[in-house]
Amino acid sequence: MTPDLVASLYPLLTAEASAEAYASGTEPGDLEQAVWLRLLERLEVEGPPRDPHGWLRSAVRTEARRSRRTSRDERPYETEPADDAEHEPEQLALAAARRRALRDVVRRLPGRCPRLIEALLSPRDLTYREIAGELGISQGSLGPERSRCLGCLRRLLTPEVAAR
């Protein structure tokens, strides 16, 4: 992707993404990120579009529609009813101890990781959109951030698990 192409498309993309984001229920930054990705994919296969500005407007609308469909189809994960054995005092005490140990390790994570992992563990079963909104980051960067944080959590938990 040439710097000239990026420079010429950036203001239009920002404006178009801002205009479409509200109706699609997504963040403008997420739409922008998705359209840049589509442009990179297109450049690899077909080269630059003949009418970059027209292509960009169409791509923003396409990504906004995709986002609307995705948000319409997302449903919170429903949990199964608990077994009676899980309500035994010993099981409840062990589960509480495990949750405390996990929360202690989560608090030691670097950067935004504690807030991200707490949001993922929330009993409210937040969607990625809701978590991104709480953390103030784009939904598109939530996955890579989550992977990095889970890697840190795994490294911190390894000694905890090995000690038991």
- What pLDDT score was predicted for residue 73? 75
Cβ atoms of 52 and 8 within 8 Å: the answer is: yes
**What 3 state SS string does 101-123 have?**
HHHHHHHCCCCCHHHHHHHHHCC
CATH topology of domain 84-163: Arc Repressor Mutant, subunit A (1.10.10)
pTM for this model (two decimals): 0.47
Calpha distance 13→79 (Å, rounded): 40
- What pLDDT score was predicted for residue 62? 93
* In the chain, where the domains are located: 3-73, 84-163
Cβ atoms of 67 and 31 within 8 Å: the answer is: yes
Q: Torsions phi, psi of 129, nearest 5?
A: -60, -45
Per-residue pLDDT of the chain (164 residues; tens, 9 = 90+): 677 888 889 999 999 999 988 877 788 999 999 999 999 999 889 988 899 999 999 999 999 998 888 877 776 666 555 556 667 888 888 888 888 888 888 999 999 999 999 998 888 888 888 899 888 988 888 989 999 999 998 888 877 665 55
- What pLDDT score was predicted for residue 17? 92
